[in-house]
Chain A
Amino acid sequence: MASNPSSDDNLLQTPLNALHRALGAKMVPFAGYDMPVQYKLGVLKEHLHTREKAGLFDVSHMGQLRVNGADAAKRLEAIVPGDLQALKPGRMRYTVFTNEQGGILDDLMVTRFDDHLVVVVNAACKTEDTAHLKKHLGAAVQPLDDRALVALQGPMAAAVLARFAPEAAAMAFMSGAYLKVAGIDAFVTRSGYTGEDGYEISVPNAAIEGLAKKLLAEPEVEAIGLGARDSLRLEAGLCLYGHDIDTTTTPVEAALTWTISKRRRAEGGFPGAAVIQKQLSEGPKRLRVGIKPEGRAPAREGAELADGTGKVVGRITSGGFGPSVNGPVAMGYVDAAHAAVGTKVNAIVRGQALAAQVAAMPFAPHRYHKGT
């Protein structure tokens, strides 16, 4: 008897799919891809291992693009509020695509070079982002579909990568460079999504499995799945698109005003600038904040936040257990009046009011590389 095709047959695969399976990963659908949520270590140990040593993440599902032209930074500024013209060659910045209402279409990383930019966008948004970029920047936009991407994150990431690419050790945090990694032509940035020092390494699809195996063979490195990627970024206070930010949240409400320079605030010139400038001058009505439940029970995405009288004042957009914090952590939106650190709120979980406080983020201190 023929078996029914599973829905998994429609999922895309990264070039590391066979390696994930060989490593015993538990695979789940994520943003249209068949991705490892955890390996044999499990989410908790994978999270702690990354904070203690180094973790390797397959992020090949993310969209990599190149925008050609010496004027690419100036042209891209038409659709993002980030100050790309202030970037020196080889430096990178986090920014967002905004819509006409000031909402966020996606968040992205941009690295600037003399004659081009390298852009990395979210997997779930990459089709729309590519169309959006092409609409505004035309033929200058070149999707890099032939390249895979891995992140090597953790306090020992630099020592590990230096064995394969000695120049990587001297890279500044939030910089990018074209390097040979284990003899492979790679684009390397010193950046990540964990709050730790680390790198993202882009190489041709055909070369990624060999490189991943070499990195995993180093004693400090373990393969890390999407589960720990999520708990690491949550402890680091970093947004997950589609959860903490989306088309209904502006960068001001999302506490991402630090991504908009003085010049861009003054000049505008990006979609939704009027809305964002008004919120910058008057303050937003709601704000993304950290939420620390006082007990042991996690408060997860969707949980309402109420004041002492039971009035709903916000909602959790990401929440769970922070393995390094060894307790529950969350983030979400609250009314401006309840956004000060230390404000007491109740998270409504399974009908019960759990005591919580508005908390400063990150929950786990950032340990990015300082210097050069």
Chain B
Amino acid sequence: MADRKFSKDHEWVEVAGGVGTVGITDYAQGQLGDVVFVELPAVGKKLGKGDNAAVVESVKAASEVYTPVSGDVTEVNQAIVDDPAKVNAEAEGGAWFFKLKLGNAAELGDLMDRAAYDAYLKTL
């Protein structure tokens, strides 16, 4: 079973076969409001843990999306570039941002599981 982990910056990553799929959480999309623009990294880009990987803009403001784990970008989700509102509708489902081949699987240990993330949200 794929295991989903969460960062304090409200990104999620789900790993399968050494490839992580990264998105933003439902909480994050709610905070952003209506998403109107998404910029994704180039395929092949090398990202370090915590690097600015993508940009998501709502009517109100631009926000950066940090990658919770390091790796090489293998695929991006063009569907959310074409229809940014998908990020609001299915942040933790079909509106993933990018996939990357993990550079260091041990980094996953620094992230929260669902229960820990939910508990973290209650402190905000």
Query: Which residues of chain A have a CB within 8 Å of any CB of chain B?
Result: 37-38, 42-45, 47, 227-228, 231, 296-298, 300, 320-321, 323, 328, 350
Contact = CB atoms under 8 A, between A and B. Distances in A.
Give the interface SS of chain B, mostly helix, strand, loop or mixed.
strand
Given A37-B60, A298-B62, A300-B62, A42 B55 contact: no
A43 B33 contact: yes
Sorted nearest first, the 8 A-B pairs with minimum C-beta distance are A44-B34, A321-B36, A43-B59, A321-B59, A42-B34, A296-B37, A42-B33, A227-B60
B81 to A, nearest CB: 8
A352 to B, nearest CB: 9
Contact of A227 (B37, B57, B59, B62): B59
A44 B29 CA distance: 14
Interface string B59-100: 111100000000000000000000000000000000000000
A189 B57 CA distance: 36
Interface string B31-67: 0011011010000000000000001011111100000
A297 B60 CA distance: 13
Nearest to B36: A321
A47 B39 contact: no
A321 B39 CA distance: 15
Contact of A44 (B36, B39, B57, B62): B36
Interface of B: 33-34, 36-37, 39, 55, 57-62
B60 A47 contact: no
Contact of B59 (A44, A297, A350): A44
A320 B60 CA distance: 7
B63 to A, nearest CB: 12
A44 B37 contact: no
A323 B59 contact: yes
B59 A320 contact: yes
B59 A47 contact: yes
B37 A321 contact: yes
A38 B57 contact: no
A259 B39 CA distance: 41
Contacts of B34: 42-45
B58 A297 contact: no
Given A227-B60, A297-B39, A298-B62, A44 B33 contact: yes
14 contacts: A42-B34, A43-B58, A44-B33, A45-B34, A47-B59, A227-B33, A298-B36, A298-B62, A300-B62, A320-B60, A321-B37, A321-B58, A321-B59, A350-B55
